[in-house]
Structure 1
Amino acid sequence: MTQAASSPLIDTWYVDPKAEDAMSDGHAPIWRHLIGLVSEIDLSAFSVLDFGCNQGGFLRMLHTMRPFRRALGVDIARKSIERANALKADMPIQYQVGDNVAGLTQEFDLAFSHEVIYLVPDIDRHASELWRALKPGGIYYAVTGCHSDNPLWPQWRGLVAKKTNTVVQDRSVSDYARSFSKAGFDVSARKLGFTGFVPFSEDGWMPNFADALRYYSETKIVFRMVKPR
């Protein structure tokens, strides 16, 4: 992969490396819920891309629940990719460092990203690259609650800058939809609508527990972008 127009490579997402494992544990119920929303059930012949895979937990969970033919996970965090490769066992998954998928053309049936697109420097370019990477009829599910329509965003923006090694971007839900539509996708979206129990945690991200409940049911968005055949 070339690194032109890519995010800078880092060692870990969080300044505190111990937070990486906690992030994966916290995301697991959300990943399980997301997989339940995906209408494509039989993935046995599918190739799958996970953009911003971190330690690779989503693809491992997806393969356990809905086995796929092969998958690629990419991430800018070197140590996260090392961990992902150490954990994949004999699953048909390749993990590699980077975030530029410009060289991939019509390789994937499905693509996913979870809380990554708000960090992409050039969202128009990202949308175009994902469009090219997907086969005709391919689908990109992109999930984020980090958008300027989130009432917690002014507080979160500062926390992301303080606690992580990433550069934050400010975009609305409509900004994302316009970029993916301009790239050629048929764009739709829904609220994540998480229906599981949300654990109580005073980690500084949520001002109070009611905000956490609203965030996972009302604020977090799942985009479904379809590349026309």
Structure 2
Amino acid sequence: MAQTQSANIGTWYIDPDAEDKMAHGHAPIWRHLIDLIVEKDLTAKSVLDFGCNQGGLLRHLYAIRPFHKALGVDIADTSVAKAEALKGNLPIQHQATSSLTGWADQFDVAISHEVIYLVPDIDAHAADIWQALKRGGVYYAVTGCHMDNPLWPKWRELVAKRTNTIVQDRSITDYGRAFEKAGFGVSARKLEFNGFIPFVADGWTPNFADALEYYTQTKIVFRLVKP
């Protein structure tokens, strides 16, 4: 998940068991996202996962498109420790931090999945990712948690209730403007998940139609290029 404040936390969800459930649920979305990444050959590339949680996205990415090396950062100490334990011999480093200080011009590709809606200062985040990317580097930032989502008023309450986070209110346009201000070439698309979506009565979507709409139409993938 994401970075919200400077102090570290243990886990993102108040219920620690929810972390494993989240990773399982996100796995098909991660694989779909990996298919959307324009950069097909990552064998010589360095990758950043901002808000890595338990490290599942980077492990999926390496299995599908092996990279040279990667860094996953997150302020959830317990989650980062689990990510480090699960990485095996993969060329991945994890840090329990929200800062990219010391990583200037290090990464070819950066990724975040459902992170930016929790970042308190989106301008500072955009600038931080900018300095961490190499020239020509690309940041894929994915979120469906925005004010253009008709479910957002309900979700805002659920996020505050179920997680150890501080929720931010931003529109899709707000994100575009922030990344453009940082110097990125900004483009985006709908995630348009094309797999089968399971029926899960978890309270996030009032009915199954909402879930289908969310994963195909509401969830956005930003592609942000550093010239």
TM-score scaled by structure 1? Answer: 0.97
Aligned pair 1:16/2:39, yes or no? no
Aligned pair 1:138/2:137, yes or no? yes
Per mean C-alpha deviation after superposition, the further-off stretch among 102-111 and 64-73 is 102-111
Q: Which residue of 2 aligns with 1:169?
A: 168
Contact map agreement 1:142 1:224 (CA 8 A) in 2 = yes
Q: What is the CA deviation profile of residues 66-121 of structure 1, one whole-angstrom value per residue up to 9, with x for unaligned ones? A: 00000000001000001001100000000110111133210000000000000001
Aligned pair 1:74/2:73, yes or no? yes
Q: Which residue of 2 aligns with 1:147?
A: 146
Look up the SS of the partner of 2:192 in the other structure: coil
Q: What is the CA deviation profile of residues 131-177 of structure 1, one whole-angstrom value per residue up to 9, with x for unaligned ones? A: 00000000000000000000000000000000000110000000000
2: CA distance between counterparts of 1:59 and 1:104?
18
RMSD, aligned α-carbons: 1.1
Question: What does 1:46-195 align with in structure 2 at a 5 Å threshold?
Answer: 46-195=45-194
2: CA distance between counterparts of 1:82 and 1:33?
26
Aligned partner letter, 1:90: N
Where do 5+ consecutive residues of structure 1 fail to align? none
2: CA distance between counterparts of 1:7 and 1:20?
21
Look up the SS of the partner of 2:83 in the other structure: helix
Look up the SS of the partner of 1:49 in the other structure: strand
Displaced runs of 4 or more, over 3 A: none
Look up the SS of the partner of 1:130 in the other structure: helix
Contact map agreement 1:7 1:120 (CA 8 A) in 2 = no
Look up the SS of the partner of 1:217 in the other structure: helix
Question: What does 1:28-39 align with in structure 2 at a 5 Å threshold?
Answer: 28-39=27-38
1: CA distance between counterparts of 2:36 and 2:188?
12
1: CA distance between counterparts of 2:14 and 2:31?
27
Q: Which residue of 1 aligns with 2:43?
A: 44
Deviation at 1:223, TM superposition (A): 0.1
Q: What is the CA deviation profile of residues 187-229 of structure 1, one whole-angstrom value per residue up to 9, with x for unaligned ones? A: 000000000000001110000000000000000000000000x
1: CA distance between counterparts of 2:221 and 2:6?
23
